[in-house]
A and B are shown apart, each in its own frame.
Chain A
Amino acid sequence: MDRYFHPKEVRKLLKSKLLKSEMRAAFLLLIPVFALYIIFVVAPALTTAYLSFTQFSGFGNPTWVGLENFQRVINDSQTQKTLFNTLYFTVGTVFLSIISALFLAVLLNQPLKGRAIFRSIIYLPVVAPMLAVAFVWKFMLDPSPSGLNNYLTNLFGLGAQQWLSNTRLAMPSVILVSVWKALGYNMVIFLAGLQGIPEQLYEAAEIDGANFFQKFLYITIPLLKPVTTFVFITSTINAFQAFEQIYGMTSGGPANSTYTLAYLIYVKGFRSLKFGEASALAVILVFIVFIFSMLYIRQIAKEK
């Protein structure tokens, strides 16, 4: 006769057996994912750290040079200018992105006819390749006397402007294009945030006699704080890695005034073949981005 099992016992037995097969399955299923993960994410990250302490041109073996790369890039005037530019670009892009996306989201949150069409138009640049739109902007900003730029500046009485070949105007132009490119994405995030604010709050404020600006200042802004933080951090992380717009519009010029960190890593690595120095710059980039990532993760943890 078969041995009698108590239902509790059956459950326990089944559970442990199932748990074992579940564990085995988990590891088997994760093998392909983690194999690729280790080769193409973890190993490269560690290699960057190692290469930043070496001198290496891609041929032969890297030579250990200690902190020399870091000393060199920190004392290099081009890197200093690049770090300043990257900061300038990031602050400009993030600040303008938040202001303009929030403003547009508030406008488009009103019940308007044709709202969906406006939203699509504003989102369009997000899906286009950055390089292609960088080229059309470069063309539109072309200073030739018969170009669109000259026509429009004359129309508004501004006079001819050398947007991309003037050291003072080049960076603001690149910032403007970057804000234009990401505006739709940031706007959709703010819209999602606005739609999450309960209507009753506004109604209650109205009963108390609050006007539009008071409602905006004391209800919308505080309740949008998590969304604003999200936009702030993602835009900052993206801005620190800006590349295509620089590559397509200015190539870092004029007079290095639009060199940014990502562009300098590319040039140092693949044009000058200074893999060690480029890796030192990459470590600096990781360091900056990680500070912002940690802020982001802390924010998410606080929300949960």
Chain B
Amino acid sequence: MRNGSPFNAVIIYILIGIVSIFMIIPFVWMTSVSLKPSGRVFEYPPRFIPSPATFENYRIAWDRANFSRYFINTTVFAVVGTLLTVSLCSLGGYVFAKLRFPGKNILFMVVLFTMMLPFFSVLIPLFLIIKNFPLVGGNDLLGKGGIGLINSFSGLILPGIVNGYYIFLFRQFFIMLPDELIQAARIDGCSEFRIFAQIMLPLAKPALATVSIFAFMNKWNALVWPLVVLTDPNKRTLQVGLAIFQGEQLTGAQWNELMAASMISLLPTVLIFLLAQKYFTTGIALTGIKE
């Protein structure tokens, strides 16, 4: 197919060019509108290069609409959440890949089975579990009386730490590493945890990088869980802040501010993508689609 295709290079470039424009126009438009002063948002004909350009919308979103606060909250949530997710899921994946113990297949089936569980199907019980968490947030031992972990950092972070899909990815990776390394370390009297942490984990760098990036992206971009678990304005993440900010805009007149806020919320993930592109495709290879 690479040879003798009926499309010559020019036609292919035109087709890909059209698609690329379609893919990138929303980002260009978002950038453009975020830099326009309020009177120029609905200028006709529409202009892609704002003149005059202003950073006023960013200042309003960052300071007055409190997106600086949301930015810090989201960073802490995504970084801490990713670290915990990667540590525990790599551990789980390693145990399923390399250690022998009774009941392993059944436990792994549980992981596979819940891998496909839609998040929306557990949304309500998760909320109830977090709200009725015993002995925190004014709750008694039975989880009654207070708000539990609602509005807390733990409530935001805990439900997303263990993820069947990531455990599965790590297992697929660890299974490819040779058993001899583990056996040699055991003969030398190395503890099982040290074998995992100091010998196997450093060998799993590609998997670690891929899962870290996926987990970070998912946490950074998460909307529905932060939306139901956070009600305190000071604890909001960027996506929740964005949802609330849009609700506060009464007319279309503040589209430029909303676009500036949207830009703030997507710049970090886009930057990470541009800097670490190869790990996005490794991840796809890891899922087992290619070999």
A282 within 8 A of B: yes
B243 within 8 A of A: yes
Are B242's CB and A51's CB within 8 A?
no
8 A Cβ contacts from A146-203 to B: 146-148, 151, 180, 183-185, 188-189, 192-193, 195-196, 199, 202
Q: Which residue of B lies closest to A192 (CB)?
A: B290
Q: Which residues of A contact B102 (CB under 8 A)?
A: 23
Are A202's CB and B223's CB within 8 A?
no
**Among B9, B16, B101, B126, contact of A40 (Cβ-Cβ < 8 Å):** B126
Q: Which residues of B contact A75 (CB under 8 A)?
A: none
| Given A36-B161, A110-B12, A122-B19: A135 touches B273 (CB 8 Å cut-off) | no
Q: Which residue of A lies closest to B288 (CB)?
A: A300
| Given A139-B259, A237-B118, A243-B223: A189 touches B284 (CB 8 Å cut-off) | yes
8 A Cβ contacts from B1-31 to A: 1-7, 9, 12-13, 15-16, 19-20, 22-27, 29-30
Interface of B is mostly: helix
Interface window among B37-45, B62-70, B202-210: B37-45
The CA-CA distance from A251 to B103 in the complex, in Å, is: 46
Are B126's CB and A127's CB within 8 A?
no
| Given A32-B88, A130-B223: A289 touches B125 (CB 8 Å cut-off) | no
B35 within 8 A of A: no
Q: Which residue of B lies closest to A205 (CB)?
A: B1
Q: Which residue of A lies closest to B28 (CB)?
A: A136
**Among A111, A240, A241, A297, contact of B2 (Cβ-Cβ < 8 Å):** A111
Are B259's CB and A265's CB within 8 A?
no
**Among A48, A133, A247, contact of B121 (Cβ-Cβ < 8 Å):** A48
8 A Cβ contacts from A250-299 to B: 261-262, 265-266, 269-270, 275, 278-279, 282-283, 285-286, 289-290, 293, 296-297
Are A285's CB and B120's CB within 8 A?
yes
Tally B residues with Cβ within 8 Å of A.
103
Excluding A107-B16, A211-B6, A293-B116, 15 further A-B contacts by CB distance (< 8 Å) are A37-B162, A43-B129, A124-B27, A129-B221, A131-B221, A132-B266, A139-B29, A139-B252, A139-B258, A237-B116, A244-B224, A247-B243, A279-B125, A286-B117, A290-B116
Chain A residues at the B interface, C-beta cutoff of 8 Å = 18-19, 21-23, 25-30, 32-34, 36-37, 39-45, 47-48, 51, 58, 104, 106-112, 118, 120-133, 135-137, 139-140, 142, 144-148, 151, 180, 183-185, 188-189, 192-193, 195-196, 199, 202, 206, 211-213, 215-216, 219-220, 226-227, 230, 237, 240-241, 243-244, 247-248, 261-262, 265-266, 269-270, 275, 278-279, 282-283, 285-286, 289-290, 293, 296-297, 300
